[in-house]
C-alpha cells in the first residue's frame, strides 16, 4: 500500500526514538529499522574479532568484510521489525551494554563503517512503507524521505530514561554516570566529520521532554497520514 514511503526519525540517544518508532511503525503497518543496532553490531563484531575499536582500518575492514560476506545482515522479524544478525545469530541484549553503546558511537565516526552500512539500510526503503530510526536517516540515508522527524529532549530527561530502561532490565545504573555518557555520546555523534547528528532542514522537530510517548506517536502518525493523503 505504501511502497517506498519512508518515515525518518532521527535524534540523540534517549529521546525516545526506539519506543516511538516501533509504535509509529505498528500504527502505520510499516516495517521498522533500528539503524543504531547496525552500529552496535559493528562494535560488537570488531571487539569479538579482537580488533581494538581505536584501530580505524581494522574496524573498517572487519565490518566491510562481514557485510560483503553476508555475515552481518538485517533480517525481517516479527511484526515487520528488522533485527541485525551476526553469523546467523541475533546478538540480543549483547548489543545493549554500556560498553557496546560507547563502542558503537566510536565506530560510527569511521567513514568505511558508515558507507558499508548504507546499502543494508537503503534496501529496506525501496519497496515498502518503512520507519527508520537513527541519526542521519533524513540527512544522508534517505534525504528524500516522505516525512522527517527530529525527536529530541533535554540531556537530563534522556539520562533519566536510559537509567530507568537499564534498571527495568535488572542492570544497575547510576544517574550521574549515565548523564555523563549521554553528554559524551552527544558530543561524539554531533562533532564527527562524517554524517554528524544534525537536524535536516526540512525535518519536523518534536521535543519529548514534556510529552508522553502517546502524544509523540499521535503527532507523527498524523503527519505521516497527512503526507500520504497528498
Which one among 40, 148, 161, 162 touches ligand DC, defined by CB under 6 A?
A: 40
Quick one: 30 or 161, whose CB is closer to ligand DC? 161
Output 99 or 225, the one with its CB closest to ligand DC: 99
CA distances from 226 to 23, 37, 146, 169, 202 (A): 18, 30, 11, 37, 16
Tell whether residue 185 is a contact of ligand DC (CB under 6 A): yes
Single residue of 23, 135, 158, 161 touching ligand DC by CB under 6 A: 135
Q: Residue 26 contacts by C-beta under 8 Å, 6 or more apart in sequence?
A: 79
Picking from 65, 86, 64, the residue whose alpha carbon sits closest to that of residue 75 is 86
Please say whether the beta carbons of 25 and 31 come within 8 A: yes
- Choices 75-83, 135-143, 151-159, 170-178 (CB under 6 A): range interacting with ligand DC: 135-143
At its nearest, how many Å lie between ligand DC and the CB of residue 20? 12
Helix %, strand %, coil % of the chain (to 5): 55, 15, 30
- Enter the C-alpha cell of residue 12: 540523540
The rounded Cα 8 to chain-centroid distance in angstroms is 10
Pick the binder of ligand DC from 15, 73, 108, 216 (CB under 6 A): 108
**CB-nearest residue to ligand DC:** 36
Q: How far is the CB of 176 from ligand DC (least distance, A)?
A: 19
- How far CA 186 is from CA of 41, 105, 198, in Å, comes to 19, 9, 11
Nearest Cα to Cα of residue 45 among 116, 105, 104, 114: 104
Give residues 88-107 in contact with ligand DC (rule: CB under 6 A): 104-105
Find the binder of ligand DC among 134, 142, 149, 161 (CB under 6 A).
134
36 part of the interface to ligand DC, by CB under 6 A: yes
**Part in contact with ligand DC (CB under 6 A); list of ranges 31-39, 69-77, 84-92, 171-179:** 31-39
Identify the residue among 28, 30, 32, 35 touching ligand DC (CB under 6 A): 35
Q: Could you give the angle at the alpha carbon of 71 between the alpha carbons of 93 and 129, nearest 5°?
A: 75
Q: In what helix (H) or strand (E) does residue 83 lie, and over which residues does it extend?
A: strand 82-86
Contact present, 142 and 203 (Cβ < 8 Å): no
User: CB under 6 A: which stretch of 61-69, 82-90, 132-140, 168-176 binds ligand DC?
Assistant: 132-140
Q: How far is the CB of 133 from ligand DC (least distance, A)?
A: 7
Q: Which residues bind ligand DC (CB under 6 A)?
A: 13, 35-36, 39-40, 104-105, 108, 134-137, 185, 189
Amino acid at each position: 500500500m505504501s511502497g517506498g514511503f519512508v518515515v525518518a526519525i532521527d535524534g540523540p540517544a534517549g529521546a525516545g526514538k526506539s519506543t516511538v518508532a516501533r509504535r509509529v511503525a505498528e500504527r502505520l503497518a510499516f516495517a521498522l529499522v533500528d539503524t543504531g543496532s547496525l552500529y552496535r553490531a559493528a562494535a560488537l563484531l570488531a571487539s569479538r574479532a579482537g580488533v581494538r575499536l581505536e584501530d580505524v582500518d581494522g574496524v573498517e575492514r572487519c565490518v566491510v568484510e562481514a557485510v560483503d560476506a553476508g555475515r552481518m545482515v538485517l533480517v525481517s522479524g516479527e511484526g515487520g521489525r528488522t533485527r541485525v544478525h551476526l553469523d546467523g545469530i541475533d546478538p540480543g541484549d549483547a548489543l545493549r551494554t554500556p560498553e557496546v553503546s560507547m563502542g558503537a558511537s566510536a565506530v560510527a565516526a569511521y567513514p568505511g563503517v558508515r558507507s558499508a552500512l548504507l546499502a543494508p539500510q537503503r534496501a529496506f526503503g525501496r519497496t515498502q512503507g518503512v520507519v527508520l530510526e537513527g541519526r542521519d536517516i533524513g540527512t544522508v540515508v534517505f534525504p528524500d524521505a516522505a516525512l522527517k522527524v527530529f525527536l529530541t529532549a533535554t540531556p537530563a530527561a534522556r539520562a533519566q530514561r536510559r537509567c530507568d530502561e537499564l534498571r527495568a532490565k535488572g542492570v544497575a545504573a547510576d544517574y550521574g554516570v549515565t548523564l555523563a555518557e549521554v553528554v559524551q555520546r552527544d558530543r561524539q555523534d554531533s562533532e564527527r566529520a562524517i554524517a554528524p547528528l544534525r537536524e535536516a532542514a526540512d525535518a519536523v522537530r518534536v521535543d519529548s521532554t514534556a510529552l508522553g510517548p502517546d502524544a509523540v506517536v499521535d503527532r507523527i502518525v498524523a503527519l505521516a497520514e497527512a503526507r500520504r493523503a497528498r
